[in-house]
Amino acid sequence: MLPTSSKVRSSSSASRPNSMLPQYLRRIVKWQQMDIEYTFWQMLHLCTSPKVVYQHTKYHKQTKNQWARDDPAFVVICSLLLAISTLAYCAAYDHSAAHAVFVVISVLIFHFLVSGVVLATCCWFLTNAYLREEAPNSHVVEQRVEWLYAFDVHCNSFFPLFVMLYVIHYFLSPLLVAHGLIPTLLSNMLFMVAASYYHYLNFLGYDVLPFLERTTFFLYPIGIVIVLSPILILSGFNPSRYFMNVYFSQRL
């Protein structure tokens, strides 16, 4: 009876994220149910002391028996801030209202949502397939990474990157898109720090899960970023100028 009991508990916990998603999506349009103050607290600490945020994730697991957020406020606020920052770029560099709408929609969909879904799905698959600790016996309830938690980790990692590459970058963009060695150097350094911090927060998000092992795997991309940056600088590639040309080529 014990093995049967554990299988039932395991399957019910595995199906829990699937039942969470419709409820999560319904709450997106219900502002009164969102904890806005706590969301801004998380955003601030993700930029200053991210380990504190993931310490609270442990408390969330203890009180609600799930790792993922049940509050979509973080996604909603992050999307609004991303739209506002993109509009600021359009006001400074765009040439038409129609094109500005296209830029805002494409940034929201592809830079944040689609890339988030793809990255979260890849991390969700890798952690569940290769990084979980093997259960010592059949009586232990199997634990798996929730897909919604993997998307939470991406959102947490994305916010400081947003601050660096959408907000700070906006104010520095007149310098960063200029020609010359200094703009190229500063642009590559900003992108290197932003990408490295993204992967560091990704690592923290999975390292906090007690049933995962070898989570240092998520730090490996930082090494790739550090190796590539000098190569890009020496080749004269300016990521700021490249991405600004993609959207606002007629104004650069």
- Supply the pLDDT for residue 140: 61
Q: Does the pTM exceed 0.85?
A: yes
What angle, 0 to 180 degrees and rounded to 10, lies between the N-to-C axes of helices 181-207 and 147-162?
150
252 residues of the chain, pLDDT tens digit each: 334 444 434 444 444 445 566 666 666 666 677 889 999 999 999 999 999 999 998 887 888 888 988 889 999 999 999 999 999 999 999 888 999 999 999 999 999 999 999 999 999 999 999 999 876 665 567 789 999 999 999 999 999 999 999 999 999 999 999 999 999 999 999 999 999 999 999 999 999 999 999 999 999 999 999 999 999 999 999 999 999 999 887 555
Instruction: Tally Cβ neighbours within 10 Å of residue 115.
Output: 13
- Supply the pLDDT for residue 6: 40
| Half-sphere exposure in the Cβ direction for 180 (13 Å, CA) | 8
CA dihedral 65, 41, 196, 173 (to 10 degrees): 150
- Supply the pLDDT for residue 208: 95
